[in-house]
Amino acid sequence: MTLIPGATSLYCWEGKIEQEYEVQMIIKSERRHQQALLAYLKHQHPYQTPELLVIPVQAGDQDYLSWLNASLR
């Protein structure tokens, strides 16, 4: 998991422009845990509609990807 503080989010909510200061969280996981993880995060998040995205890894440093895959098992 990586936490990136200092993000500013601007968005339209219920007809108004909102601005929030947020911490962006990047979670690396296996596909088999995806639905459970999304459901858990949505339930725990204070927003009614949190930004939850799944971004598939298409390429990367092979040494890092090998380490990551081993770490997730």
CB distance 42 to 35 below 8 Å: no
Per-residue pLDDT of the chain (73 residues; tens, 9 = 90+): 999 999 999 999 999 999 999 999 999 999 999 999 999 999 999 999 999 999 999 999 999 999 999 998 8
| Amino acid 8: pLDDT | 96
Q: How far apart are CA 44 and CA 63, in angstroms?
A: 33
Q: What is residue 45's predicted lDDT score, i.e. its pLDDT?
A: 96
What is residue 38's predicted lDDT score, i.e. its pLDDT? 97
Kindly state the tokens that stand for 10: 């601007």
CATH of domain 2-71: 3.30.70.120
pLDDT confidence of residue 73: 83
